Homo-oligomer: A and B are copies of this chain.
Amino acid sequence: MAGVSTATVSRVLNEPERVSAKTRSRVEAAVAHFDYTPHFGGRALASNRTNTVGAVIPTMENAIFARGLQALQEALAETGVTLVVATSNYDPEREAQQIRALLGRGVDGFVLIGEARDPALYETLERRGVPFVLVWSWRPDCPWPCVGFDNRAAARAMAQRVLDLGHRRVAMIAGITRGNDRATARVKGVRDALTARGLGLDESNLIETPYQLEAGADAARRLLSATPRPTVIVCGNDVLAAGALMAIRSLGLNAPDDVSVTGFDDIDLALILDPPLTTVHVPHRRMGDAAARLLLRLRAQEDDTASVVFETGLVERGSLASVGT
């Protein structure tokens, strides 16, 4: 040892300024010499903090979450907080399990996707006093701290643009809406716009399907087999739209001449597609970053813990054309 008590070592590690420079350097030398690392368990037990936050996302395979997580993780790491990630595969029960599992691991903060979940879960979180932030969705009057955007309004804006371009036979490929408020809001938004013009979205023109390339392609093939076929397919995200474009090509049709397609998210993919995808731009990385900062403020019991809303924007590329051109 460096001739000091464990208390001093602890102080050197946690509040270096409270220790005299001379002792501090001696301790630091010893730490370096023995390649000492404090024991996490001991620390967690004594201080009752783990400096860990948990995120439960649907899947890492969706680029939007991967990107958001990356930003989240970077922002948290700056303050020495570790991120633990679990996935639910879009299953609400599994999400609840994962949250409980992470609670058991003593995470002292949560980042959760969307708002739709069992009230009992919210109650548990509050009772334990574990702060959390809901990401990726936002609506007026959401009672929890959120960092997101208005999925419904964004989808509505996209659908309005579609209608402005003269489309009347509108079909939609949505994500699975059960337990997914983002997917639900996007369908609602499209409905809003259609209804406002006296149109509807009946069952035959709306398919819910997992957010996967092949699933999107299958759905598009089904929608396009109708007579008369839709002039536009509005998709719940970019991956579904990519699938739809694949299907269109495989049917010998041409986008946007025969059928227009729109996406949602604006991931890299949208740029690569041919034609490039008209979609809704969502600032995933900035949301991840903002979520981290909001969560840190909540943990620190700071005052400024208001929800953060991001604006989305229509990005018009080549996949959406006016009807009949």
Contact = CB atoms under 8 A, between A and B. Distances in A.
Interface in A263-307: 268-269, 271-274
Nearest to A275: B274
Contact of A82 (B60, B67, B84, B246): B84
Contacts of A245: 272
Q: Interface size class for chain A?
A: 35 or more
A270 B43 CA distance: 47
A63 to B, nearest CB: 7
Interface stretch (A4-12, A98-106, A135-143): A98-106
Contacts of A35: 124
Number of copies: 2
A312 interface: no
A22 interface: no
A60 B69 contact: yes
Contacts of A82: 84, 86, 101-102, 105
The secondary-structure label for the interface of chain A is helix
Interface string A53-70: 000000111010011011
Given A70-B60, A73-B85, A87-B73, A103 B37 contact: yes
A39 B86 contact: no
A100 B39 contact: no
A196 to B, nearest CB: 34
- Which 8 pairs show the lowest CB-CB distances between chains A and B? A41-B44, A40-B106, A41-B45, A60-B66, A274-B274, A37-B104, A66-B66, A60-B70
Interface of A: 35, 37-46, 48, 50, 52, 59-61, 63, 66-67, 69-70, 73-74, 77, 82-87, 100-106, 124, 213, 239, 242, 245-246, 249, 268-269, 271-274
